[in-house]
Structure 1
Amino acid sequence: MSSCKIDHTIDDVTKKLKEQTPYMNYSLGEKCFNFLSTSVSQADLNELFHLLKKFDLASEDEKKIRIDKLEKLVQ
């Protein structure tokens, strides 16, 4: 993912997750929501936001890469 200088809030990330969950499997969406209910570092919030950003528009290959990164981040 491209690096970004903006720190995303928990609300920003939650909103983005709600927008993108229809485009991912239910289990992964639930893991992401559960992850956000814990104490999440700013770096992890930013990473999660950027993995979710335009998830719906990503190619199938790109989605697979993002899903792998999401799984690792939220486990």
Structure 2
Amino acid sequence: MENKCKLNHPVEDVRNKYESQKEYLPLDMISSFEAFFTHEHTQDILNDVFHLLKKYDLSSEEEREQRNKRLYMVLHNV
């Protein structure tokens, strides 16, 4: 079972995490993130995106693929 963080991450934390991981993300995801930050989101979405980005650079290729799928889903259904 996945451990869920009990902290709520404000949009500033999510943006900072994104900026720190940006160079590791697929290029076509960058514009989606820029659009994402122009809208307000629920706390659940912010927390989810934060945790998908957390330690992204240290993830295995397989783990990155799983995270990318979830990120695309969140970013394109918002």
Q: Distance in 2 between matches of 1:4 and 1:29?
A: 25
The answer to whether 1:43 aligns with 2:27 is no
Match of 1:22 in 2: 23
| CA RMSD between the two structures | 1.1
- Percent identity (aligned): 33
- How many residue pairs match? The answer is 75
Q: Distance in 2 between matches of 1:28 and 1:71?
A: 7
DSSP-derived class of the 1:15 partner? helix
Unaligned runs of 5+ in 2: none
Matched ranges for 1:1-75 at <5 A: 2-75=3-76
Q: Distance in 1 between matches of 2:31 and 2:20?
A: 13
Q: Distance in 2 between matches of 1:2 and 1:34?
A: 29
Give me the TM-score of the superposition, normalised by structure 1. 0.93
Unaligned runs of 5+ in 1: none
Give me the TM-score of the superposition, normalised by structure 2. 0.90
Q: Distance in 1 between matches of 2:3 and 2:37?
A: 22
For residue 46 of structure 1, report the CA deviation from its aligned partner: 0.2
